[in-house]
Structure formats: C-alpha cells, structure tokens
Amino acid sequence: MNIVERYRRWRNADGPATPNGVSDNHALGFMSAYAMAQPVWTAQDYRFEAELKRRLGANYLGFTGQGYANRYGGGFVQRPGGKVPTTYVLHHTAGAPAWTGGDVWRYHVQTRGWDTVGYAVIINPQGKAELLVPPSMMSYGAATANPWTVHVSCHGNYVTTEPSAAMLATIYQVFLALDVAYGGKPWRGHRALPGASTACPGKLDNHLAVMRGPRYGAATPPKPSYP
C-alpha cells in the first residue's frame, strides 16, 4: 500500500479533525519517514504467533495491527542498529478496560502523534489477546528502552484494581511464548526499567514476579498455567 492510499484511509477514518488530532503535515511525515506500511516478519515472529495460537486458542484474536495501521495511520518500525529484545515488559494502559487494540492504536498514533503503537501485544480483562506488532519490530512503550524491549500491555488501570484471573492466565502464556520464540529473557514491569518514573503496571507487577519465579516460568519445565 503506497503512502497516498494509507493517508486517504487515515483521513477517511478519524483523521486529524479533532482538536487533539495530529496535523496533516505531521501525519504525512510519520507515515513516509518512519513507519513502514507493512511489518517485516522473522521466523521468530511466526513461531511466536504459532505459540499464541497453540496456548490461547480462541483467546487469541490474531494479528490485528495491520488493519489498525490501514485505518488509523502509523505503521511498523524496525529496531535501530539491528538491536534485538533483551527484556519483556508488562504494562497497563491506564485507559478504559473496555477499549480494544484499535482504541489504543488510534490514541497513540492520532492523539499522541507516534508513528507506531506502544505495545506488541494487548490483553483485555476477559483474557483475549491481540498481536499489534511482531515483537522483532519496535513498539513505543518505554522511551529510550524501546530498542531492546518487547511491550505487553493490559487494558485498564491496576494501581488499585485487581486484575482478573482470565487476564493473568493470558499474561503468563504470552510471556512463556516470548521465551519460546525469542529466548528466555527477564520479565519486568514497566516501573522496573532504568529511569522509569511510573506506577505501571500496578498490581500486575506482583503477579509477574511470581510468574517468573521458580514455581512458574523459571521452573523446568515451566508450569502449564497460572495461577
């Protein structure tokens, strides 16, 4: 899809008409200069998606990022300098639990003006997961840490709210799938990254520590489910 067609679809969806939208010039700039219209998938990415399908079954909603890029603009960004993921990071969106991946994509690209979305995978309270960006490519979840991190996020705010059991079960499977596809790496909450000043991901962070601990993800073999 060429830049003219991508821009037409972007304008015909929500476009920059809202007061907080991005300008036409900004939209054309990030579409042409930074984000590719389609992702570049590696063998590891295909293995990751196969793991999601196997582990989550009907709770895996598929690779939805391409459709969101077509509708809302933005695209897919290569990691700079051939960098590869060394840490898998858990977030919460701090937005509405009822949001979809499309709502997050639109907010990041059209309101915040980013050229791609903040997360590779997004999970809702019912445990449904969407793949927004193949994890070998970059998402914008943690500023300067983005080149070496993969970002998984959950709809909602868990600073004071407890996450659902269905969400926790899916988080565990997604992080295990990352380990299988890209190699075993540290699992971190957003606030544990160097220089981070955030409460994200709230109470999810405590669960993530248990998931990665000796009883679950670090076990040999890992436990099949959480909790």
Res 11 pLDDT > 90: no
Q: Which of 102, 184, 118 is nearest to 153 (CA)?
A: 118
> CA end-to-end span of the chain, whole Å?
44
Alpha carbon distance 145, 143 (integer Å): 5
pLDDT of residue 177: 98
Least confident of 17-21, 52-56, 223-227: 17-21
Phi then psi dihedrals of residue 217, to 5 deg: -65, -30
Radius of gyration of the chain (CA): 17
Residue 165 contacts by C-beta under 8 Å, 6 or more apart in sequence? 227
pTM over 0.85: yes
Order of strands, edge to edge, in the sheet holding 187-189?
60-63, 129-131, 121-123, 149-154, 87-92, 187-189
Res 217 pLDDT > 90: yes
| The one-letter amino acid at 21 | G
pLDDT of residue 210: 97
pLDDT of residue 220: 94
User: For residue range 42-96, what is the model confidence (pLDDT) as tens digits?
Assistant: 999 999 999 999 999 999 999 999 999 999 888 999 998 889 999 999 999 999 9
pLDDT of residue 174: 98
Q: Which helix (H) or strand (E) holds 122?
A: strand 121-123
Q: Which of 98, 157, 145 is nearest to 118 (CA)?
A: 145
**Domains delineated in the chain:** 3-211 (3.40.80.10)
pLDDT of residue 2: 56
137 DSSP 8-state letter: S
Res 24 pLDDT > 70: no
pLDDT of residue 13: 47
Confidence of residue 148 (pLDDT cuts 50, 70, 90): very high
Whether residue 201 contacts residue 158, with contact meaning beta carbons closer than 8 Å, is answered with yes
Q: For residues 36 and 19, which has the higher predicted lDDT (pLDDT)?
A: 36
Res 161 pLDDT > 80: yes
Average pLDDT value over all residues in the chain? 89
Structure tokens at 22: 């991005």
pLDDT of residue 124: 98
pLDDT of residue 114: 87
